Chain A
């Protein structure tokens, strides 16, 4: 297996981009990534593009070709990857596998979603496509309601409180306020979260990630190519992916996302690290409860201790593990297909020491965690500076 590094990164501002189309956003992120590593572009041999619901959101399928076209990279092979909200992370993994398997020297992993061209109810309906249409959505489940079911059970089993959930939003908005590309770069208080309108109890509006437009891209290369081009290659040391039942109710324990557990263990085992060695992680906080589950399922704390340790500030910027320095999906925004790739862009900035005001100090090992649906897909990557 070839060693694989991220040598170029690019991300658009996340937010409501009324002026820009999906194509414009992808072109901008792609150009930034190509410019970042100072290549001409023709060295790139393949594209893997993550998007969840372009068909429902803008009526456009065939996003693989669209990305190649937008980036001016035709005629290289370009493939769309779809795994609901984990589309971006899965595109990154497909790109990683292609290079580590020796098929290509250099590829792009991109992710994009254009969500504000439809009204919110239509966007919500499209996002519901990540759940089980026949056995959840038919009976009245919305996407937030599934995470609310997890939250309610988590509160029942472990005594987790609504204030502890709110603490996730407070932390991520604090970090997002330091991120120039974040959709909501401002602080919120526990009281503001607690008093925001109810969506699906116990989840309130400020427990939920927003509807966002945006794109991100990373350029991956094998060791030989990376060492020629990049001053500070960011190495991908481990990659894990797992699946679970599509419907939340079919799981033995709805408070554990087994796909996160399995993907996390695989990625960390390959990288030869333990959860304690991770300095920084970008985890999938589509709802505040999702971050609580993520830090437990990845082994940063024991199951049931997520809420308490969040309250204690264990995951604040530059504490024991900095979780979601970008602001997470919550404050940075969640252009669904772009999120998994954006997480890798964020990690690379920290490992290179280029993350500005939100820079995490002394980062050696970092992790990304990208979830699809209510946990039916999960992709985890482990990164380092300086290699194995």
Chain B
């Protein structure tokens, strides 16, 4: 059986997956995405507040996925990358609106809101962030 995702599991991550809502520690200036409820550097002295990431960054590493996981079958091959956001945190996301041969490490990218996958059994469609090249060729 695939790992089916209940509505609760999907709903609780909407602010992060739709809007890149993270946190910032106003004591040391560190940004956290996914959000951390406390700052590992400052601990008790940390002052954590919600902070929306700008959605801009650059590619730290990438791969072309030829053997996908379930729910992603229609999109093979797809480009998966680790993106370093301007604010510092890194995340994993698909690169869209380009071809593998145009992707490189260090390339500037920006967030777009997209359909991510489908649960075949439940029919739930999952949405979230992907990234596309900042400068279209």
Residues of A within 8 A of B (CB): 121-122, 124-125, 128-129, 133-142, 144-145, 148-153, 156, 197-203, 247-250, 254
Contacts and interface: CB of A to CB of B under 8 A. Distances in A.
B69 A249 contact: no
Nearest to B129: A139
Contacts of A135: 34, 91-92
B103 to A, nearest CB: 10
A42 to B, nearest CB: 41
B67 interface: yes
A198 B80 contact: no
B69 A140 contact: yes
A121 B2 CA distance: 9
Q: Is the interface of B mostly helix, strand, loop or mixed?
A: strand
B91 A249 contact: yes
B62 interface: yes
A140 B94 contact: yes
B50 interface: no
B82 A142 contact: no
Contacts, number: 106
B13 A134 contact: yes
A254 B60 contact: yes
B72 interface: yes
Nearest to A156: B105
Contact of B105 (A134, A136, A152, A247): A152
B70 A198 contact: no
A121 B71 CA distance: 11
A128 B66 contact: no
A145 B70 contact: no
Contacts of B30: none
B92 A125 contact: no
User: Which residue of B60, B62, B67, B129 has the most chain A CB atoms within 10 A of its CB atom?
Assistant: B67
Contacts of B34: 134-135
Contacts of A202: 63
B66 A200 contact: yes
B13 A249 contact: no
Contact of A254 (B65, B82, B91): B82
Q: Interface size class for chain B? A: 35 or more
Given A133-B3, A135-B34, A152-B62, A200 B92 contact: no
B108 interface: no
B112 interface: no
A199 B67 CA distance: 5
Contacts of A199: 66-67
A363 B128 CA distance: 53
Interface in B87-137: 89-94, 100, 105, 116-117, 126, 128-129
A140 B105 contact: no
B3 A125 contact: yes
A133 B13 CA distance: 12
15 contacts: A139-B80, A140-B68, A140-B72, A140-B80, A140-B93, A140-B94, A140-B116, A141-B80, A149-B81, A149-B82, A153-B60, A200-B65, A250-B89, A254-B60, A254-B82
A254 B128 CA distance: 24
Contacts of A200: 63-67, 80
Interface string B39-73: 00000000000000000000011111111111010
Contacts of B117: 138, 140
Contacts of B92: 135-136, 139-141, 149, 247-249
A254 B61 CA distance: 9
A82 to B, nearest CB: 17
Given A134-B34, A248-B92, A128 B128 contact: no
B116 A149 contact: no
Nearest to A135: B34
Contacts of A156: 61, 105
A207 B117 CA distance: 27
Contacts of B126: 138
Contacts of B70: 121, 125
